[in-house]
């Protein structure tokens, strides 16, 4: 009987863990990560970034402000914060895939590539591309939580629906998985 209880407990833990780590399957669904937008801003829309493309300036900036552990970093200008947030709306973005939206206009930003853990800068370049952002609902607002690379310079599909999910505020749809089925089966068989 103890092994039955352990199996049931393990099934429930796996089930709960699976649900909390799941990525949203559409933009603008309730976020499972409360600090997502703040982390996005801290990583990509920093004030005081170097004005030019000098490697030494960027190395000094990253070393002093954190980020040596990230081999690729992209920085948007702080004055564009509202335009960046608008990518997560039907006015500024189109649905791309999963919880990603793509901007309807190009943005200029700086991409810095470094040797991971050393802050040694390999390259600094200005890019002008459509932004691909993960957009999730936080405090009743759809906001960017992740900057996705766009190495193929993908453009938005004009036929795609706007980024703002028409089902805004509703919980993601329930999906039956094998783990759910296993948990229910265990409860039915051994729950009496």
How would you write the pLDDT of the chain (192 residues) with one tens digit per residue? 455 454 334 444 444 444 444 578 899 999 888 899 999 999 999 999 999 999 999 999 999 998 888 999 999 999 999 999 999 999 999 999 999 999 999 999 999 999 887 889 999 999 999 999 999 999 899 999 999 999 999 999 999 999 984 544 344 444 445 454 445 545 566 665
- Is-contact 167 55, C-beta < 8 A? no
The residues pairing with 118 across neighbouring beta strands, listed in sequence order, are none
CA distances 152 to 75, 85, 130, 132, 138, Å, are: 19, 23, 10, 11, 30
Task: Match 């068989």 to its residue by tokens.
Answer: 189
What CATH superfamily is the domain 26-171? Ribonuclease A-like domain (3.10.130.10)
Decide: helix, strand or coil at residue 46: coil
**Per-residue tokens: 188:** 């039915």
Q: What is the pTM of this model?
A: 0.74
In angstroms, rounded to a whole number, what is the distance separating the alpha carbons of residues 56 and 167?
A: 47
**Per-residue tokens: 62:** 């990253």
């Amino acid at each position: 009987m103890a092994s039955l209880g352990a199996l049931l407990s393990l099934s429930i833990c796996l089930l709960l863990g699976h649900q909390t780590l799941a990525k949203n399957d559409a933009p603008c669904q309730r976020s499972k990560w409360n600090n997502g937008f703040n982390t996005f801003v801290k990583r990509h829309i920093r004030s005081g970034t170097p004005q030019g493309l000098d490697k030494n300036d960027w190395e000094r900036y990253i070393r002093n402000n954190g980020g040596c552990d990230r081999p690729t970093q992209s920085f948007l200008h702080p004055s564009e914060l509202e335009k960046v947030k608008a990518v997560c709306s039907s006015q500024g973005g189109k649905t791309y895939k999963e919880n990603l939206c793509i901007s309807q206009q190009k943005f200029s930003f700086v991409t810095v590539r470094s040797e991971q853990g050393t802050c040694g800068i390999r390259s600094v370049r200005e890019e002008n591309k459509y932004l691909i952002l993960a957009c999730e609902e936080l405090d009743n607002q759809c906001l960017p939580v992740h900057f996705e690379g766009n190495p193929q310079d993908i453009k938005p599909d004009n036929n795609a629906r706007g980024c703002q999910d028409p089902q805004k505020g509703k919980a993601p749809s329930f999906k039956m998985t094998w783990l759910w089925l296993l948990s229910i089966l265990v409860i039915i068989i051994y729950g009496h």
